[in-house]
Structure 1
Amino acid sequence: MSSKSNRYIVLVEGKKIPVEVNRGVIQKIGNTRHEMALKRVDTDEYIVEIDGKQHSGEIIRLKQNKCIVSVNGNTYSFEITSEAAHRRTKKIKEKAANASLKLTAPLPGKIVEVLATPGQKVKKGEALLVLEAMKMQNEIQSPVNGIIKSLNVHVGASVMKEHILMDIEVE
């Protein structure tokens, strides 16, 4: 009875390397087949035999699918995942990068000046509006580089703490 091979990818510094595993043993790295064996010496120490050559290795850190190992004194950091999981993670990261930031009032007060308009490109630290609170005027600045998607207040509006003042599309 033959065991089904599983395909994974190893991410090393953003580079994808396909790996084929059969019965828990790596059979193929990239497009090259290898004869591999793994022998545990101690809790985290192993002897890895690849194509007849032995290498001593140690697992330094293994958390979920992120690994840091030492082989023959060299340290390697990589991530093991499936191609489908990698695509999902990449899509989620892209979606988060395109998300908007909801700028909220840091304290209750009254809007006395609006310096930004929808569609305006803003830089981190740029003044967007002035909020008067306890007879003091507070300049509310952009926390990110982006584009104003919507403005949710107007001059004279009273706002409470955490009131959404505007949406900024993060760049």
Structure 2
Amino acid sequence: MKFQATIGEKELDIELSPKEGTFKSGELDGAYTFERVNGRYFLRTGTKTYKIDNISKEGSNIEFSMNGVWHIISVKDEQELLLDRLGFKTGAAAAEGILNAPMPGKILEIMVKEGDEVEKDQPLVILEAMKMENELKAPMSGTISSISADVGQSLEKNSPILEIETIG
């Protein structure tokens, strides 16, 4: 099985062979085990063990904590990668112009207003969550068509913050 994982700005091509328990990613390759024990997941590779908890998935995005550190990654399988190459959008990608709160938090700052043109990955909003300030970036280039959240507002996970309309 082939996947592409995006962690921050870094894209990784990963190939897993579950029957053989092997993986390959760039120059790295080796054996792994992934198992569930007493409601927790454990990933073992070489001499390292990683404890994985708090897993949630929405579309291609996966949130989880690994050894107590929170991670958000985007994972695409072979079918999603093929659809991307052909120019088609999956259900999650079709709604990519909507910026939702990735976790519960409070809006500290909104750096744009309706009608502003933005570039992909441009910082748009500062969301305070778990006593940390998180910079939320534009998922695509376009024009801010609506803002549905206010500074100081507390949001639940996946609450809409703003919408971007593609240009053209």
The bucket for the TM-score relative to the shorter chain is 0.3 to 0.5
- So what's the TM-score if we normalise by structure 1? 0.44
